[in-house]
Chains A and B, each alone.
Chain A
């Protein structure tokens, strides 16, 4: 009996070694398989593939104020976006100006966007009644000076779109 148990334990000893070695070989098969498959490389060579690199449409790169071809934007300086922003990344500076019909009204002077503070939550875009804002796909934000991240979003000499601002009723929030 004693001999049998001894033999059994010796058998177990060798079986253990065999099982261990096969389990190691199985792991090596996985890495070895990828070693001989160049097609499995997933690296994207970033600066080289800039021409072909396309972000998803929805990608939130940075906030922009939409401008038409005539250099007109849709912002009526209502300040909703700045109020919705959780960390004060948006400053809407407006001024009083006489409209075509003779009444004074509020128009956008400067739309300041602090890219360095933005957390890309998208509440500003959601809050905008005029759908004047959107996120662009631009993602190369690296600059040498932090001040360069404070951007003015309305283009120089741009105006608010005239017709729509007057005739259109304020929309319900579109999502």
Chain B
């Protein structure tokens, strides 16, 4: 039920039968690119809207409610405003790097989206090293941040960029290790395989406490990797005004802004895929009636529901906690998360070896 592969296959065969192989692949890529870009823009804008609404509710406010019903078009209006704004040219800035930085950031997050399975068969590319690919691509964004900070020729920006570099390099370890724990369980790095291995229960549920620890560490490290509060040191509004994007204006700023939210989505989507069974519905062991009802809910809803929940938790973090200091940030990684993670990995390997997981 709800398998997207026939649909995808029909599109595929339509192109291959009507065009030469070269043009078929070019057109397919084009189609895919447009689809992903449209998805990216719409989702990014509505994540911004969601964040504004959620933080407003936490702060006893209403949030955007003027543009459109419930303020639903607020972020679209914001985007139009940003598109129309002047791109301020910074004297003494390195023009080429200054202009290219936002694109690096946004390209990195667009590329990561390509390998996320939204539903069975609804995946742009199912790499056999999917997890590695996502890790590699998503950490490319920091290069854009570093370039942005350096090229702006602003002191605040440089400090922000350096902080961001130190932060992402450290937390990359924890993200990788906590995902590795789950790879050990699943025995594969292919995202579709990992999902199939959770047919009989999500790894978060059948992996005992170690899986839960890995999940929490992944959430913390993932939040840190996206430069969001309480780890938003690269921007640190009260210290560095806006950190690495202080000097950016107009649509280039919007790129950084959108990329932040999309990175958050990617982190949440990966957490969903690896810990929470991706697009698989929630099943209770041997409770067939319940399971059948759950099966009627399309997998796309399951995927976005779980992702939305994790995004909500990340926003909850941001609007509750104070920001860490740079040395505390690194201490948290190297003194707490990394040792715990390594211990956890050993435990999980042992559990897998003994086949003690469900």
Which A residues have a C-beta under 8 Å from some C-beta of B? 17, 24, 27-28, 30-32, 34-35, 38, 40-43, 45
Pairs across A and B, CB under 8 Å, 16 listed:
A24-B321, A27-B320, A27-B321, A31-B58, A31-B316, A31-B320, A32-B58, A34-B58, A34-B60, A35-B57, A35-B58, A41-B57, A42-B60, A43-B60, A43-B62, A45-B62
Flag whether B199 is at the interface (Cβ < 8 A). no
Counted as pairs of residues, one from A and one from B, with CB atoms less than 8 Å apart, the total is 36
Point out the residues of chain B lying under 8 angstroms from A28, CB to CB: 316-317, 320
B60, A40: Cβ atoms under 8 Å? yes
What 1/0 mask marks residues of chain B from 203 to 239 whose CB sits below 8 Å from any chain A CB? Answer: 0000000000000000000000000000000000000
Point out the residues of chain A lying under 8 angstroms from B65, CB to CB: 45
- CB-CB nearest in chain A for B316: A28
CA distance A45 to B65 in the complex (A): 10
B60, chain A: closest CB distance, angstroms: 5
CA distance A34 to B316 in the complex (A): 12
Q: Among B54, B61, B65, B320, which residue has the most Cβ atoms of chain A within 10 A? A: B320
A13, chain B: closest CB distance, angstroms: 8
CA distance A31 to B317 in the complex (A): 10
Flag whether B19 is at the interface (Cβ < 8 A). no
Point out the residues of chain A lying under 8 angstroms from B253, CB to CB: none
Size of B's binding interface in residues, CB under 8 A: 14
Flag whether B356 is at the interface (Cβ < 8 A). no
Point out the residues of chain A lying under 8 angstroms from B62, CB to CB: 41, 43, 45
CA distance A76 to B62 in the complex (A): 51
Point out the residues of chain A lying under 8 angstroms from B60, CB to CB: 34, 40-43
Q: Among A31, A40, A41, which residue has the most Cβ atoms of chain B within 10 A? A: A31
B53, chain A: closest CB distance, angstroms: 10
Flag whether B358 is at the interface (Cβ < 8 A). no
Point out the residues of chain B lying under 8 angstroms from A42, CB to CB: 60-61
Point out the residues of chain A lying under 8 angstroms from B316, CB to CB: 28, 31-32, 35
- CB-CB nearest in chain A for B230: A24
In chain B, positions 28-61 with a C-beta closer than 8 Å to chain A are 54, 57-61
For the complex of A and B, list the 6 residue pairs with the smallest distance between their C-beta atoms, beginning with the closest: A31-B58, A31-B320, A43-B62, A27-B320, A35-B57, A40-B60
Flag whether B336 is at the interface (Cβ < 8 A). yes
Flag whether B319 is at the interface (Cβ < 8 A). yes
What 1/0 mask marks residues of chain B from 301 to 322 whose CB sits below 8 Å from any chain A CB? Answer: 0000000000000001101110
- CB-CB nearest in chain B for A29: B320
Known: A17-B336, A40-B60, A41-B62. Contact between A35 and B321, CB under 8 A? no
B221, chain A: closest CB distance, angstroms: 15
Point out the residues of chain B lying under 8 angstroms from A43, CB to CB: 60-62
- CB-CB nearest in chain A for B336: A17
Point out the residues of chain B lying under 8 angstroms from A31, CB to CB: 58, 316, 319-320
B320, A34: Cβ atoms under 8 Å? no
Cβ 8 A contact of A35, one of B54, B317, B336: B54
CA distance A43 to B60 in the complex (A): 7
